[in-house]
């Protein structure tokens, strides 16, 4: 069982918007603004899409945005395009007896 909870799948039509949730606890998502999101196409390495909850690395489309409320972070993709179809993972710093990084179980995005 993954440390952070994501829906297994979401879908949307081209041009629509979708949101993927990532639920943790006050020890990770809720306690720190160190949430990041990754896109992974089949057979490829993950790619950083959002860091520090809502910041986009250089070169990432502004169709991707992130937010957080309480213990749940969210990734929103607007203006869905066929190439957005991929797996998406959230990640967070976690404070426990040591320092940790935890991932969500991943969400498969299907563009209909």
Contact residues: another protein, CB under 8 A? 2, 32, 34, 36, 38, 45-48, 51-52, 57, 89, 91, 93, 96-106
CB of 65 to another protein, least distance (A): 16
Nearer to another protein among residue 15 and residue 52 (C-beta)? 52
Nearer to another protein among residue 17 and residue 48 (C-beta)? 48
For the chain, give the longest Cα–Cα distance: 45
C-alpha 5/C-alpha 51 separation (Å) is 18
And the tokens for 74? 């969210």
C-alpha 32/C-alpha 10 separation (Å) is 26
Closest by CA position to 12, among listed 72, 76, 104, 56: 76
Query: Which helix (H) or strand (E) is 69 found in, with range?
Result: strand 64-69
CB of 62 to another protein, least distance (A): 18
CB of 6 to another protein, least distance (A): 9
Nearer to another protein among residue 12 and residue 104 (C-beta)? 104
């Amino acid at each position: 069982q993954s440390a952070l909870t994501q829906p297994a799948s979401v879908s949307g039509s081209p041009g629509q918007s979708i949101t993927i949730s990532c639920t943790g606890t006050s020890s990770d998502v809720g306690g720190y603004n160190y949430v990041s999101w990754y896109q992974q196409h089949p057979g490829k390495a993950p790619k950083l899409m959002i860091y520090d909850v809502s910041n986009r690395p250089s070169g990432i489309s502004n169709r991707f945005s992130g937010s957080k409320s309480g213990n749940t972070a969210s990734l929103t993709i607007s203006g869905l395009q066929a190439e957005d179809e991929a797996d998406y993972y959230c990640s967070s710093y976690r404070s426990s007896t040591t320092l940790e990084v935890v991932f969500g179980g991943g969400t498969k995005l299907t563009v209909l």
